[in-house]
Every structure is written in structure tokens, then in C-alpha cells.
Amino acid sequence: MPLEYYALAMIIGFFVLVLTGMPVGFAIAATGFVFGFIGFEGWLFELLPSRIYGVITNYTLLAIPLFVFMGVMLEKSRIAERMLDVIGHACGGLPGGMALAVILVGVLLGAATGIVGAAIVTLTLMALPTLVRRGYKRSVACGTICAAGTLGQIIPPSLVLLVLADIMNISVGSLFAAALVPGLLLSGLYLAYLLALAFFSAGDVPAISAEERASVSRMALAKDLAIVVLPPLGLVFAVLGSIVGGVAAPTEAASVGAVGAFLLTLFTGRLNRTVFSETVTMTLRISCMIFFVLIASQVFALAFRGLDGELLVQAMFDWVPGGFYGTLIFMLVLIFFLGFFLEWIQISYIAVPLFLPFLGGNPEISMVWVAILIAMNLQTSFLTPPFGWSLLFLKGVAPPDVKTSEIYRGAVPFVAIQIITLAVLMYFPGIVLWLPELIGW
């Protein structure tokens, strides 16, 4: 039997194992080892130690646990929760003010963590009860939280962008610079939608009551903005600016961010043994998950390539009409549906490398632009009913009386905004490439 058939059976076997409930990391490694032994009696895996060694000694990937520590520290210390309250009050009597605050805090959380699950859970626990208590329509509250939490996919310094830079052999600084304008554009469109909703249907997004606003003086609010909001904002800009500006490597900037988050928590009086212990434990769990999948994917990739899987992919592309753009759209659609079943780390290390030989063959096409489209597409997938990961994360920690249908209805407008933004970025690559070219990346 031709080796390509083994490669096809390998992909099918992987999805079967995932659908049975096996953890994705084990499913990736198991299918790789089984079909590698079937096709080559194991000798192919003599190359595996060198590939794993290349992964664990990759200096850029050291930034992952540091960025995770930075975000988890801001979450566990409840600094993010305090930011939401302060920004909400700063919006004053504006209808939808708290929803705007959720988006803005989502931008900061996305920049701090780059982890969708952590951002969604954090925003749900601290914002959903507050929004519902203040009279927000539940579907709007749920949709806003899901949309804000997924901004971590595209707002730098995102772990998704960091991993894509490694896979696609792109400068991390150029990719972060390229993601900045699209991320802010998407956030701006979210804010515009909420403002329009406040104008046409203020009852769905009521303003903070006059009594509650009166309980906080302008002087106290200004002090809170300076103490609670500006330091985390400054930390994020320092980390991102040092990478984009070429002052520091991603790993160096991530270490500054981790130390900065620790000191910020210390100076605000929120650092204690419980917070530090939970932060370190959560950082270890998330980092181990990412690196385990990363190493397991080396097994899968080695077996798939040895079984002539690339020839299978090439044949698949030969059936796709439309040249490069047909291939690009086909890839984005495939990744979109994979996002219903797999998390971004598995998609990045399994699906994306399969397309690189065909996408990178055109010297006129910027791989930085392609990487941003992939990240934005993954973000859209994670927000889309009925299988979007963001919706599942929110449902998992939301109060029992929040209906799944309400979560789905609330997400639909934001999915539409995502699709429009993705189409704009495809049609106008200059939006993505303008900033990297401006600063000389």
C-alpha cells in the first residue's frame, strides 16, 4: 500500500482518538508512534531526539512561561478585576460603559496573557455577575466577555503569534508589529458596535446608576486611574515596545514583564503566599501543556513527513482552484473548522506546517501577513457557535441560569465583526504590513 494512504489513515486515527476524549497531546504522540512503526518499523524515530533537543533549547520559546507568569500574576492578584471596576466608573453615565470597560480590560489581559482560556475565565468570573446585576441583557454580556477574552489571540505579545513566528521562521518583532494595528482595529470595531447598541437600545446596556457614580468622587477616580490602570498599561507597553522597537529579544522582554508583574503585585499590597503559589502552579501547568504538545507534535510531524504526507497535501492543493488566494482561503477554512475541535497550539504545530511549503513558494507574498490572517482566523473560530472554545470556557464558569442559547446569540454580532475584519485584512494587506515596514522590520 502506498505510504500516502498510511498518512491519510494517520490523520483519521488522530481525530478518532481526540473524539474519544483522549488528551490531545497523547493522541498526537500515539498516532505518530503507531504509524511510524507500521511504516518504518521504528527506525524513523532515530531522528526524534535531535528534533526534541532543538525544541527544548529554542531560546525564543523560553518566553512562553515568562509571558504566562506575567498574565497569571495579574489575574491571581485581582489587579485585572480592580481595573475593570475603575474603567467602568470612568465611563460615567454612558450607556454600555461597563461593556466598554470589559473590552478595554480584555485588550490589556490579551496583551498580558495571550491565553484565551485564562482571559475568558477571568473576565467571566469578575464581569458577568456585575453586568447582570446592573441590568445588562445576558446575551450582550456573554457576547462581550467572549469577544474581549479572544483578543488575546491577536493582541501582542500573544503566545499564538510567538509560536507562529517560530513555526514560520518569522521575526517575532515584525509579527508583533504587524498584529498591533489589526488588533486595535478589531477592538475599535467592538467598541463601535457597543456604542451603536447603547444608542439604539440603551435598555440592553444601561449606564451605572447615578447613586453608584456619586459614591466615587472625581478625585478618588483620578487617583484610582493613576494607581490601578496606568501601571499595568505601562508594563504592557514597555514589554511590547521593547520587542517591536528592537531594544530587547522576546525572551528578555518577557522576563522584564514577569518581574514587572511580580513587583506591581508586591507594591499594590496584593502579593501573599497564596497568590504566589497559585501563580507558579498555574504557570507550570500551562507551560507544561504547551511544551508537551509541542514535543508530541514532533513525533507526529516526523511520521507524517516520512509517510509522504506532504505528497498527500500537495495533491489536495492541486484540486483547489484560484491559485495562491484559492489555497489561502482553503487553508483558512480548514483551520477555522479545526478550531472547533483543537486548541491553537495543536493547530499551529500540526496543520500550519503542512501548508508552509505551498504558501512560502511565492516570494511576492509576505509570510507575516499570512501569519496574521491565521491568528485572526483562529480567533474567529474560537468565537463561533456552537463549538467555539471561548463559548465553552464561558459556559463552564458561568452561573447555571445562564443559557447556552444566550451565549450563542450574544456571540453572533462579534463573529460578524471578526469576519468583516478578516476580509478587510485579506483585501488590504497594507493594514498588516504598514507598521513593520515603517519601523524597518
Q: Check: CB of residue 129 under 8 Å from CB of residue 141.
A: no
Residue 171: Cβ within 10 Å count = 16
Model pLDDT for residues 370-410, shown as the tens digit of each residue: 999 998 988 888 888 877 778 877 877 777 788 888 888 98
Task: Quote the CA–CA distance of 136 and 206 in Å, as a whole number.
Answer: 6
Give the DSSP H/E element, type plus range, for residue 13.
Answer: helix 3-19
Q: Check: CB of residue 225 under 8 Å from CB of residue 114.
A: no
All residues at 6 or more sequence positions from 22 whose CB lies less than 8 Å from its CB, including other chains: 30
pLDDT at 16: 83
Model pLDDT for residues 100-140, shown as the tens digit of each residue: 888 888 777 766 555 666 677 777 777 788 788 878 888 98
What residue segments make up the domains of the chain, in order of their start?
Answer: 47-438
Cα 299 off chain centre by: 25
Closest residue by Cα to residue 145 from 105, 86, 90 = 105
Task: Quote the CA–CA distance of 341 and 360 in Å, as a whole number.
Answer: 26
Closest residue by Cα to residue 208 from 139, 136, 280, 271 = 136
Q: Check: CB of residue 30 under 8 Å from CB of residue 303.
A: no
Please calculate the CA angle 313-318-321 and round it to the nearest 5 degrees.
125
* Its pTM surpasses 0.85: no
pLDDT in tens, the chain (441 residues): 566 677 778 878 887 887 787 776 788 888 888 888 887 766 767 778 887 887 788 777 787 788 778 877 877 777 777 777 787 777 767 787 888 888 888 777 766 555 666 677 777 777 788 788 878 888 988 999 888 888 877 887 777 888 888 888 888 888 888 998 998 899 999 999 998 988 888 788 887 777 766 777 778 778 877 887 788 778 877 877 777 777 777 788 888 888 888 988 888 888 888 889 988 888 888 788 778 877 887 888 788 777 777 677 667 767 777 677 787 888 888 888 877 766 677 777 777 887 777 776 666 778 899 999 998 988 888 888 877 778 877 877 777 788 888 888 989 999 999 999 999 999 899 999 988 888 766
Alpha helices in 168-272 (DSSP H): 172-200, 210-214, 218-224, 230-244, 250-267
Closest residue by Cα to residue 134 from 104, 175, 91 = 91
Model pLDDT for residues 48-83, shown as the tens digit of each residue: 888 788 778 877 778 778 877 887 787 777 777 777
